Structure 1
Amino acid sequence: MPVVLPSEIVVERFLPTARAMLVDDLADRGLTQREIAGHLGVTQAAVSKYRSGEVTVEDRFSEDARMAATVERIGEGLAEDEMDHYEALSELLALVEEFEDRGPICAVHEDVMPALRGVGCDLCVRGPDSGVLDERAVLDNVREAVRRLAGAPAVVDHVPNVGTNVAMALPEADEGGDVAAVPGRLHAIQGRLNVPGNPEFGASQHVAGLVLAATATDPAVRGAVNLKTSEALLAAARDAGYEPLEFDAGYEDRDEHLRERFDEEGVPRVAYHDGDYGVEPILYVLGADAADAVSLAVDLCAAAEA
């Protein structure tokens, strides 16, 4: 996995794009190649390359309205002698800082360093604070849980038609964006689980809602996975010492109803419903984290198949 500094994105992608845009802006204002070269600190030959399109421009920067506005301000200021080079540099640095705060520089950085995807990285502006470390820990846990789930053959027959998902909440989570899951869910295809991508925050609705309801009652419960309700799984749960909690899928405010049930009866290891009109019967396995929930789910599926 490559380690790429954000400063490399600035030097290799942002700066050439900014220069190319400034060259065009200043040329359109009537400045000569010599004058442009003097303002930008490059050679006339380099100005010619920028002008002829020989330098690669990053569209995610050039098409951003903030960059277009910054280039226009700098171009006008330099052309009219109303802005010196210090002020021009200040404008560009301010834009870099804005682009590094979960902006287009982050998007490009994620492309060249995939380990950053989905972690809400803000190392450039805030450093490795505890929130970022928590996010990474949750994402790592969900990845490991998904690998175990996908590697368990007994699980395949218990995957709902709508797919299954593995979710885990951040500490003190209170909204869907605080819960990590797999975008698009996992589906059973030709006897195996297909994992469409890496986990991301805000990628789940129903499993995330159940996790939020559970952790609101018991902060020690932060993970869950959904399966297809079946008598075999319910029996396996009871045999393992876990009495499943049944709830009604038809409640309009399902998550609020679950919170009330959990407050009254405690957070179970297994909760399920028998479906409703247009709603497939679903069973949820909960745990301290995603890996814990999946571990029990795999054991229940294996017991149900025995």
Structure 2
Amino acid sequence: MKTPCEFWAEEVMPNLRANVARILYSKGLTQAKIAEHLGITQAMVSKYLTGKYKKLGGELGREIEKVSEEVAGLILYGARKEDVVRFLNRKFFEMFKSGVLCKGYLEYVGSTDESLCGEIFTEEPSRTQILEELSLALNELLRDEKFLELIPEIRSNFAYSLPNPKEKNDVAAIPGRITVVKGKVYALPPEFGASEHMAEVLIGLSEIFPEIRSVLNIRYDEKISDALRKAGFKVGTVEKSERSEEETVKLILDEFKKKGVLDAIIDKGGFGIEPCVYIFGKNPVEVVEKVKKLESLL
């Protein structure tokens, strides 16, 4: 019997590489450059771009398309090959655990024993993995000159939680926040327990929409409000002028309860509270993608 790793290598990876090649080509990369990034020949890139490969369908095919977009984003951000490999390894385990990849594997080997994948893949993401993913996304923001204009007076923080966080130390964030030093964006490496406010937001969200595990705050003004609308983001609003930090967290969570999964929440500020926008995502890379989309519309 073939193993899950063989299924991933023989059936899934060709689809993923083909999707990534198509995305990178649409962004202007040459076939030679795409081949270099993917570790394959230029002839294989050409084959992928002309659709000459066995395509995955159904739920698994759709999920691989999403992962391909994330991988292409990492490559375009300038991520190291080692970072992309780590990201794909994590996705491999996540997708088997979720059942999406397991169904395809069971069909591949002709089995109906759905407990097989659950017995093999039981690990939760480690704290090291969480820090690595957050660091990767943070580094992209540090390289992004446009992000400098999005940092509020209170500075930005960027957080990413373990699945089902229960306390502040289950949420990684930036010590001292993302700030500006000599006209450039600066931040210390992320740590667990570095932001009580962001931790409270993500802990509360985990009880409503556990898939939302990352958040970043940026400045707010009418131009950014306009860009949120043009981007087609689903947005909530907090408007109460006098409130404590605990009330702010409750108001953010109330917006999710009323409106469902949101891309962003505008906090219009109040007495002693600077207006800002919270950008949410399943992971830090998704949050940065949303920030990039906003920047393109400003």
> TM-score, structure 2 length as denominator?
0.55
**Cα distance, 1:130 vs structure 2:** 4.0
In structure 2, the partner of 1:155 is 147
Aligned residue for 1:217, secondary structure, equals coil
Are positions 1:260 and 2:254 aligned together? yes
**1-structure distance, mates of 2:235, 2:183:** 27
In structure 1, the partner of 2:18 is none
**1-structure distance, mates of 2:296, 2:147:** 7
Partner letter of residue 289 of structure 1?
Answer: N
In structure 2, the partner of 1:192 is 184
**Cα distance, 1:151 vs structure 2:** 1.1
> TM-score, structure 1 length as denominator?
0.53
CA-to-aligned-CA distance 1:227-250 (integer Å, 9 cap, x gap): 001111111111111132111364
In structure 2, the partner of 1:146 is 138
Partner letter of residue 286 of structure 1?
Answer: F
Q: Which runs of 5+ in 2 are unaligned?
A: 1-121
In structure 2, the partner of 1:29 is none
Aligned counterpart in structure 2 of residue 169 of structure 1, from 152, 161, 173: 161
CA-to-aligned-CA distance 1:86-106 (integer Å, 9 cap, x gap): xxxxxxxxxxxxxxxxxxxxx
Are positions 1:224 and 2:218 aligned together? no
Aligned counterpart in structure 2 of residue 201 of structure 1, from 183, 192, 198: 192
**2-structure distance, mates of 1:245, 1:261:** 6
Q: Which runs of 5+ in 1 are unaligned?
A: 1-128
Q: Percent identity?
A: 25
Are positions 1:248 and 2:242 aligned together? no
Aligned counterpart in structure 1 of residue 129 of structure 2, from 127, 137, 156: 137
Aligned length: 174
Larger Rg: 1
**Cα distance, 1:191 vs structure 2:** 2.8
Q: 2:213, 2:282 within 8 Å by CA — same for their partners in 1?
A: yes
**2-structure distance, mates of 1:181, 1:245:** 23
Are positions 1:237 and 2:228 aligned together? yes
In structure 2, the partner of 1:293 is 287
Aligned counterpart in structure 2 of residue 284 of structure 1, from 278, 282, 287: 278
Q: 2:164, 2:203 within 8 Å by CA — same for their partners in 1?
A: no
In structure 2, the partner of 1:210 is 201
Partner letter of residue 136 of structure 2?
Answer: E
Please report the RMSD computed on the Cα atoms of aligned residues, expressed in angstroms.
1.8
Runs of 4+ in 1 over 4 A off after TM superposition: none
CA-to-aligned-CA distance 1:119-146 (integer Å, 9 cap, x gap): xxxxxxxxxx945x42111111110111
